[in-house]
Amino acid sequence: MSRKKRTHLRGERGQAFADKIRGIPVEQILCVSLDIHKYFHVVMMHNALGEIVTPPFEVDIFQAGFDRLCQAIDAAVARTDAQIVLVGMEPTGHYFENLARHLHHDQPSPRPVTLINSFAVSRNRDQQMMQREKDDEIDVAAIGDLLRRGEGTPFQPINGLYLEMQHLARVRLSKVKIRTALKNQIVGHLDRIFPGLVIQGKVARERYEPLFVADFWSCQTLQHLIRVCPDPRRLATMAPHELRTAFHEQGFALGVKTAAEIITYAQKVLLPDSEVIAIRADLLARDLAFLEEVERLITELEDRLHALLQQTPYWVWTKVRGLSETQVASLAAAIGDPAHYTYAAQVFRRSGLVSGRNDSGTRRHKGKGKRVVKTGDVYLRRALMNAIMSLIRHQPTLHDYFDELHRSKHAGVARVATARRAVGILWAMQRDQQSRTLVLKRGAKM
């Protein structure tokens, strides 16, 4: 148990829930549990004893469905003389957000929403011996059971520039995934058009000498080559000055010596079928054009994110060595308004990262074998782990902390624990608006 003084078995969150329902008869506490789907939602209403007030029913995602839900809640309140209404749902992708916002802002009777963690719902099903069963009514019952016990966290809708940053960051992430897929597809084209042009991986590079030492996606000459002339059949018959001229005509620089090396390399290739080259060369050109458009969109989104970031307290993090503006913007977009948090641990808890449990079994085995429980916000978790990998490389203090933990723990557990420490430092910087607010050891600098 934590060294902090506790007044409740479940800490501050448990105490807040106890204060909320204190003195209210359990029959007059109405729980509205929702199992969120893409096109419909399953609803069940029950009291704090778990007694069903309204059997499960479905509502659609349209206005009529929302109106039906509100009418059903009002009817249940009147029937039970409920003094308090608890509304709970899983944060399923983005599908819950619209309904949660409407419930939160509904007039004249706003209904605050509690988000019940999906992992907790799954574990609750297991505890109730429902491991092999999968049914919407069972899911909504598991959500309701957790809701009546005070589990979950309050839904706090974000607005303004943080809302814009959230959507921009998510769209940027989707574009980055598209860029990665396109790059892999382009390499696939080249494997068929020009076998051996792209040699990736340490083992392959040790066994075969690539055309250029630099990685394919960081080598400008290779980037230009696949746009000017990716066909090894044609390259093998060209003179060095012809290839150099072809480069210059498209505005790319190339020397005669390098041109000769490219031609010599093409002459070593086991040439593919000319029809295959023709088909794939056309597809390659289309994918390269598509890649350029995707990269342009990513740059545009990042510029907008950077401009918004400057209007937030998180801007101070850009002064920390090892964090780029884009990494900070992704973190800020995932965390949201800092006013929604009291201390750094709440941010880390939302990420769903758990470095280990402080129990006797873990102490005996030095934390080995304990899986990281991924239960929180996937966007925050991704942004945080991306940032911590960079901070470990560029911040000696965090690097030393990680190395010390790694001596006795799995690398993943050590990274998560380092991320937890880094969040505390970064949060203090954001709070005090100073880039050197805290250090881990005397004399260390961030």
CATH code of the domain made up of 19-154: 3.30.420
For 67-88, the DSSP string reads HHHHHHHHHHHHHHT-SEEEEE
**What pLDDT score was predicted for residue 226?**
95
* Rounded Cα gap, residues 44 and 3, in angstroms: 39
* Rounded Cα gap, residues 28 and 400, in angstroms: 55
pTM of the model: 0.81
Whether residue 82 contacts residue 109, with contact meaning beta carbons closer than 8 Å, is answered with: no
Buried b (16+ CB within 10 A) or exposed e, 342-375: eebebbbbbbbbbbbeeeeeeeeeebeebebeeb
Question: How many Cα atoms sit within 13 Å of 267 on the Cβ side?
Answer: 11
- Helix count and strand count (H, E) for the chain: 18, 6
- Using DSSP's 3-state secondary structure scheme, residue 156 falls into coil
The structure tokens 């060095």 sit at 240
Q: In 3D, which of 70, 80, 103 has the Cα closest to residue 29?
A: 80
Whether residue 174 contacts residue 325, with contact meaning beta carbons closer than 8 Å, is answered with: no
Q: Kindly list the domain boundaries of the chain, sorted by start residue.
A: 19-154, 167-301, 312-432
pLDDT by 10s per residue, the chain, length 446: 345 567 888 777 788 888 889 999 999 999 999 999 999 999 999 999 999 999 999 999 999 999 999 999 999 999 999 999 999 998 887 889 999 999 998 877 789 999 988 778 877 777 665 544 456 688 899 999 999 999 888 888 888 999 999 999 999 999 999 999 999 999 999 999 999 999 888 888 888 888 888 889 999 999 999 999 999 999 999 999 999 999 999 999 999 999 999 999 999 999 999 999 999 999 999 999 999 999 999 999 999 999 999 999 999 999 998 999 999 999 999 999 999 998 888 888 888 776 544 433 444 444 444 444 446 788 888 999 999 999 999 998 899 999 999 999 888 889 999 999 999 999 999 998 887 644 444 445 54
For 63, phi then psi, to 5°, come to -60, -40
Whether residue 311 contacts residue 161, with contact meaning beta carbons closer than 8 Å, is answered with: yes
**What pLDDT score was predicted for residue 136?**
62
β 29-36/40-47 pair status: antiparallel
* Rounded Cα gap, residues 143 and 148, in angstroms: 9
**What pLDDT score was predicted for residue 359?**
39
Whether residue 165 contacts residue 308, with contact meaning beta carbons closer than 8 Å, is answered with: yes
The type of residue at 270 is: L
**What pLDDT score was predicted for residue 373?**
46
- Using DSSP's 3-state secondary structure scheme, residue 250 falls into coil
**What pLDDT score was predicted for residue 334?**
93
- Using DSSP's 3-state secondary structure scheme, residue 179 falls into helix
Angle (deg, nearest 10), helices 378-394 and 325-335: 150
